[in-house]
Chains A and B, each alone.
Chain A
Amino acid sequence: DIQMTQSPSSVSASVGDRVTITCRASQGVDTWLAWYQQRPGRPLQLLIYAASTLQTGVPSRFSGSGSGTHFTLTISSLQPEDFATYYCQQAGDYPYTFGQGTRLEIK
């Protein structure tokens, strides 16, 4: 199975800050990489697919980049509703696998 390693596992930041989360795959997945946001009491939300394509309805402050084994999710200016847990997911090979998650907390 392809292992996905996210870093950091948690980060503290303030409203307005820029935050970058990294995801590394144990083998190349081309651009078969998605990012999700999980907030308590809400369904998981797809943010980015195909490594860099913004899902419809997701604010433009979210962006993704990368290919192969190295990917990043950047939030350009944190808003209060962005404090949540973020997961990357590879779909380059089955079984699809997730990173362990990055918890974004308010400083």
Chain B
Amino acid sequence: EVQLVESGGGLVQPGGSLRLSCAASGFTFSTRWMSWVRQAPGKGLEWVVNMKYDGSDIGYVDSVRGRFTVSRDNARNSLYLQMNSLRVEDTAVYYCVRMGSLDLRRTGDQWGLGTLVTVTS
């Protein structure tokens, strides 16, 4: 069974930093693109970043580029999101998403339950 378990969310002040983790299991992590998607409270979904299985291709949404850094450790089946210079508007549930393969590429075929990040003074 595929599992994606996010952790690391919490309360942080504007300008602060937080590191999110996603523990993956039930599939060959090293062969899949992975993403982070976020959802502000009561709002819709926003794609934050995509990362190729070997780390050689990464794409950020403009609103986080230069502040957030995605990484992965294929030996530990883990995806990370380092978030710096956090802003109030970064407050959201952050979802770890496995991207599909072949015909399902560019599609999130498995999602975690998310971890809540709250940026407030």
Contacts and interface: CB of A to CB of B under 8 A. Distances in A.
Interface in B39-53: 44-47, 50
Contacts of B76: none
Most chain B beta carbons < 10 A, residue from A1, A34, A96, A97: A96
A94 B95 contact: no
A44 B47 contact: no
Interface string A75-107: 000000000000101010011111111000000
Contact of B47 (A43, A95, A101): A95
Interface residues of B, number: 22
Interface residues of B, dominant DSSP: strand
A32 B107 CA distance: 9
B106 A98 contact: no
A46 B2 CA distance: 14
The interface residues of chain A, by DSSP majority, are classed as: loop
A98 B45 contact: yes
A8 to B, nearest CB: 15
A55 B95 CA distance: 20
B107 A94 contact: no
Contact of A34 (B107, B110, B111): B107
Contact of A32 (B50, B62, B106, B110): B106
Interface string B81-115: 00000000000000100001001101111111100
Nearest to B114: A43
B102 to A, nearest CB: 10
B108 A44 contact: yes
A100 B44 contact: yes
B44 A43 contact: no
Contacts of A101: 44-45
B100 A49 contact: yes
B110 A43 contact: yes
Nearest to A41: B113
B61 interface: yes
A98 B47 contact: yes
